[in-house]
């Protein structure tokens, strides 16, 4: 058999291996290097050099770039929770939306996520900012904690990441470096896609909540190393709700107004919490220590996944797949969507998949006379669809810090993010072809 064909088989088997065993509770730290063995064997590569080479290169490179962000994000989430600031925000939300309708509380969490990411805060940062707010709301409303995945995944991972015009998220910026488009490209298509995804998730949450209640499920606190969680602060000791919002505002302003690195912005939020909420901490050194320890599992999980993606990218099969995507026999914008989805799925990265497509395919589609704005929006939305397979870095990080697993949390990502975005694309693409 042709070596490239064998390599492709190895890539497919490795992906299937990760998906199947991750959904059965196996940890990505174990699965990623084992999947690399599949890739190496079928691609005719030496196993140990592949693990020590591309795999560890991706692992170490990611840790070098993002460890401090994870550390500061974890500390920010921990001081927000242990000071009572996150609980104060949650109580303020519950006073506005009420405790009688769980949907109101869930949508409030989603809107906070949208506001933060639309304000320029990265997805990784919002993970650590949103969980301490959502946890007391879910506890107060006695909602199963695994359902928290739904408002997080659709509001942050779909709508503001790829769809909403003007979003400052990296995926919405990347195409502007390759063509005459802007972050406001195809605004009607983006807004329509966001509405479809939001509507789908509202109905999906109601359906899952009904099923959970029928099974007698309620809130159970998450636990374990890496989980963003702390002691529940007594109600009478909570800080002022308006002052509690300020740390998040500080982060947004430092990121966007002052254009500082995310590490400095998160450190600013941590410093504000410590200075202004000093009297609310029971044991500040313990809070900081736990926050630091909580960094370990999420960052190692994600590094393992990135290393796996680097190992795949080093194979002959990957190069064949990338070339084949150029020749799909269908309307160009449809083939663009399929190609972007496949590349994001293989790499387990929306930005990684989109980057490859923009480098290899964008000039060819532009040469066909397609609108840069249409290419921009369809490619961006497609990158944020099958990117969220079980080996995706954000998926792994999110599940780790929430105390959930692929077994009890991933199905909500599948339906609320992937399926919802596919439906949106099926509506947006035909309309885009008509308009552009």
pLDDT for the residue numbered 123 = 74
Query: 402 — phi, psi (to 5°)?
Result: -90, -10
Mean pLDDT across 308-327: 80
Q: Is-contact 385 418, C-beta < 8 A?
A: yes
Helix axes 350-360, 332-347, angle to 10 degrees: 140
Range from 92-96, 367-371, 404-408 carrying the lowest mean pLDDT: 92-96
pLDDT in tens, 419-436: 999 999 999 999 999 988
Comparison of pLDDT for 290 and 194, the residue scoring more: 194
Range from 74-88, 194-208, 418-432 carrying the lowest mean pLDDT: 74-88
Comparison of pLDDT for 351 and 406, the residue scoring more: 406
Q: Is the pLDDT of residue 293 over 90?
A: no
pLDDT band, residue 223 (cuts 50/70/90): low
Q: What is the dihedral of CA 16, 17, 19, 25, to 10 degrees?
A: 160
Range from 97-111, 141-155, 373-387 carrying the lowest mean pLDDT: 97-111
- A 10 A CB-CB count for 101 gives 11
Q: Is the pLDDT of residue 355 over 80?
A: no
Q: Is-contact 6 43, C-beta < 8 A?
A: yes
pLDDT band, residue 135 (cuts 50/70/90): confident
Tokens linked to 230: 């702390």
Comparison of pLDDT for 41 and 259, the residue scoring more: 41
Q: Is the pLDDT of residue 339 over 50?
A: yes
**How far is the CA of 322 from the CAs of 16, 216, 413, 422, in angstroms?**
19, 48, 26, 21
Secondary structure class of 316 (helix, strand, coil): helix
Q: What is the dihedral of CA 247, 232, 302, 200, to 10 degrees?
A: -80
Could you tell me the sign of the dihedral formed by the alpha carbons of 71, 406, 349, 255, in that order?
negative
pLDDT band, residue 319 (cuts 50/70/90): confident
Comparison of pLDDT for 313 and 425, the residue scoring more: 425
Mean pLDDT across 102-124: 79
Residues 6+ apart with CB under 8 A from 193: 163, 381, 421, 424, 425, 427, 428
Q: Is-contact 381 162, C-beta < 8 A?
A: yes
pLDDT for the residue numbered 101 = 80
Helix (H) or strand (E) holding 368: none
Mean pLDDT across 235-250: 81
Mean pLDDT across 361-379: 88
pLDDT for the residue numbered 63 = 85
pLDDT band, residue 224 (cuts 50/70/90): low
Can you tell me the distance from the alpha carbon of 434 to that of 43, in angstroms, rounded to the nearest whole number? 43
DSSP annotation of 157 reads I
Find where tokens 């989430």 sit: 77
pLDDT for the residue numbered 120 = 63
Secondary structure class of 222 (helix, strand, coil): coil
Can you tell me the distance from the alpha carbon of 185 to that of 163, in angstroms, rounded to the nearest whole number? 10
Can you tell me the distance from the alpha carbon of 339 to that of 426, in angstroms, rounded to the nearest whole number? 15
Query: What is the overall mean pLDDT for the chain?
Result: 84
Burial (Cβ within 10 Å: 0-12, 13-18, ≥19) of residue 271: middle
pLDDT for the residue numbered 418 = 94
Q: Is-contact 39 292, C-beta < 8 A?
A: no
Helices (H), 277-315: 284-293, 296-313
Mean pLDDT across 398-414: 88
pLDDT in tens, 2-48: 888 889 899 889 988 988 887 777 877 888 899 999 899 999 999 99
Can you tell me the distance from the alpha carbon of 305 to that of 8, in angstroms, rounded to the nearest whole number? 19
Comparison of pLDDT for 204 and 181, the residue scoring more: 204
pLDDT for the residue numbered 187 = 92
pLDDT for the residue numbered 325 = 67
Q: Is-contact 117 163, C-beta < 8 A?
A: no
**Percent of the chain, pLDDT > 70?**
94
**How far is the CA of 294 from the CAs of 51, 229, 274, 367, in angstroms?**
26, 9, 18, 49
């Amino acid at each position: 058999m042709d070596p490239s064909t064998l390599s492709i088989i190895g890539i497919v088997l490795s992906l299937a291996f990760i998906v199947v065993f991750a959904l059965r509770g196996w940890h990505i730290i174990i699965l990623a290097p084992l999947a690399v063995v599949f890739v190496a064997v079928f691609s005719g590569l030496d196993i140990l050099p592949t693990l020590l080479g591309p795999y560890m290169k991706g692992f170490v490179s990611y840790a070098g770039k993002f460890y401090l962000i994870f550390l500061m994000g974890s500390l920010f989430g921990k001081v927000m929770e242990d000071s009572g600031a996150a609980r104060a925000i949650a109580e303020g939300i519950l006073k506005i939306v009420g405790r009688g309708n769980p949907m109101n509380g869930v949508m409030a969490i989603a809107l906070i996520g949208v506001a933060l990411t639309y304000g320029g805060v990265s997805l990784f940062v919002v993970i650590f900012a949103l969980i301490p707010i959502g946890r007391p709301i879910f506890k107060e409303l006695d909602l199963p904690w695994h359902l928290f995945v739904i408002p997080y995944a659709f509001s942050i991972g779909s709508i503001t990441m790829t769809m909403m015009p003007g979003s400052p998220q990296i995926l919405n910026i990347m195409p502007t470096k390759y063509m005459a488009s802007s972050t406001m490209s195809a605004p009607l298509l983006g807004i329509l896609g966001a509405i479809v995804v939001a509507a789908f998730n509202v109905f999906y949450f109601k359906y899952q909540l009904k099923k959970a209640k029928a099974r007698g499920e309620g809130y159970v606190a998450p636990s374990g190393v890496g989980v963003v969680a702390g002691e529940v602060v007594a109600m009478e000791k909570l800080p002022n709700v308006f002052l509690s919002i300020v740390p998040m505002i500080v982060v947004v302003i430092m990121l966007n107004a002052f254009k500082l690195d995310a590490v400095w912005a998160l450190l600013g939020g941590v410093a504000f919490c410590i200075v202004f909420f000093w009297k609310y901490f029971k044991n500040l050194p313990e809070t900081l220590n736990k926050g630091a320890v909580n960094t370990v599992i999420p960052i190692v999980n994600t590094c393992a996944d990135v290393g796996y993606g680097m190992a795949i990218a080093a194979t002959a099969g990957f190069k064949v797949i990338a070339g084949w995507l150029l020749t799909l026999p269908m309307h160009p914008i449809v083939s663009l969507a399929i190609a972007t989805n496949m590349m994001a799925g293989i790499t387990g990265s929306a930005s990684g998949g989109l980057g490859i497509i923009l480098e290899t395919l964008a000039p060819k589609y532009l040469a066909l006379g397609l609108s840069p704005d249409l290419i921009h929006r369809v490619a961006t939305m497609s990158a944020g669809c099958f990117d969220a397979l079980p080996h995706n870095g954000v998926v792994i990080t999110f599940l780790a810090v929430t105390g959930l697993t692929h077994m009890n949390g991933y199905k909500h990502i599948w339906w609320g993010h992937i399926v919802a975005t596919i439906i949106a694309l099926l509506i947006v693409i035909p309309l885009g072809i008509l308009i552009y």
